[in-house]
Amino acid sequence: MRIRTDDTVIVTAGKDRGKTGRVLRTEPKKNRLFVEGLNIVKRSTRPTSVKDSSKGGDVGGIIEKEGPIHASNVMLLDPSDNKPTRIRIDRDSGGKRKRVAARTGNAID
């Protein structure tokens, strides 16, 4: 996957289309990623240690958290002008791989 953690992406398909956010984590084997504040899903959680919740036990209830988004439904925002771009992999003179914005040719990171 060419999108990494802490990249800024824009969603191109789905219920959050057009919104931008920062990538929290990626799952390369499933080709999915989690974007901060997008694709919010509700999950019921069971309380742990009901006796005293002040000592670190979870209260439980319905919590909202980010759900996974497929990598094909997001595009990286070019850091130079904040427009969506594809990512190309180039090699420098030493042979190291680097990510390059396909629109502008600028290196990413």
- The pTM (predicted TM-score) of the whole model is 0.81
Asked whether the predicted pLDDT for residue 55 surpasses 80, the reply is: no
N residues, the chain:
109
CATH architecture classification, 8-77? Roll (2.30)
Asked whether the predicted pLDDT for residue 9 surpasses 70, the reply is: yes
Domain borders along the chain are 8-77, 83-109
Residue 34's pLDDT band (cuts 50, 70, 90): very high
Give percent of the chain above pLDDT 70. 92
Q: Which two tokens stand for residue 34?
A: 């989690």
SS3 77: strand
Taking CA atoms, 2 is separated from 43, 56, 106, in Å, by 30, 38, 15
